[in-house]
Copies of this chain bind each other. A is one copy, B any other.
Amino acid sequence: MTVVNKHTKIISAAIKVFAKKGFFTARISDIAKEAKVADGTIYIYFNNKYDILLSIFEEEIGKIFDKTQKLLLEEEDPCRMLEIYTRQYLQAMKKNKNLGEVIHIELRQTNRLIKDYRNNKFCAYLNIIADIIRKGQSQKIYRPDIIPDVAKRIYFGALDEVTRVWNISLETHYTVDEITYQTLTLFRQGIKIKQEKKSGNISKVITDNSLEECRRIDILSENQNISEEQS
């Protein structure tokens, strides 16, 4: 108990350092100092600097994935499942803000290196969302025109970006609750005030019109772009 696993100590230190400085800017000696071990010790537990990053993903994302997966097994309602997913993610990020930063930045930054390699766990984690959406669609709760594989990215992108609001705290500080509420509500019900009763139809019509128009504009602008396009 008193002797903390060095592996864990290094991982924790690395999360902190990567979060603060970024993977490339962080130095091994920074991590070593943070972990209170010698530089060389790190190479007893990890093959190289990059391996530390990979291990963070594996282990930390793994924890969230496993816990979320377990909680979802007991749930059938897609809306509740989405809530669980969202809450788990946001809470994990809140608990360890540094981890959030690492996932946020490094996942992308090093994505080109990881690719198909080891981050299947992350893909699996993303796919949970797609599965929930599919479940909701089969239960006729979620709209069938939503493409789960697109929506999962929209959703995770939102979740991911939103964690910065309280990490980097550019504007103001919000509670996890507030952010959870905002994200879930926005995603489930949209930004527009639902004008129940009769107004619903109108709303729909407008939207459809709008989107139809979108498509026309899209085609037009695509054509326009041909001439604009820089080869």
Contacts and interface: CB of A to CB of B under 8 A. Distances in A.
- Total copies of the chain: 4
Given A79-B207, A136-B191, A162 B157 contact: yes
Nearest to A146: B191
Nearest to A19: B112
B185 A207 contact: yes
B190 A186 contact: yes
A194 B142 CA distance: 9
Q: Which of A143, A149, A230: most chain B Cβ within 10 A?
A: A143
Nearest to A181: B211
Given A160-B157, A161-B157, A161-B160, A177 B218 contact: yes
A185 B211 CA distance: 9
Interface in A200-231: 200-201, 203-204, 206-207, 210-211, 214-215, 217-218, 221-222, 225, 228-230
A201 B215 CA distance: 33
Contact of A156 (B161, B187, B190, B228): B161
Given A105-B109, A160-B161, A211-B181, A149 B133 contact: no
Contact of A185 (B12, B136, B145, B222): B145
A37 interface: no
A62 interface: no
Given A145-B185, A153-B158, A194-B194, 12 more contacts: A79-B206, A83-B210, A87-B214, A123-B170, A142-B192, A147-B178, A150-B182, A154-B186, A157-B157, A180-B218, A189-B192, A194-B203
9 contacts: A22-B112, A79-B210, A141-B193, A142-B191, A150-B165, A157-B160, A158-B161, A181-B215, A185-B207
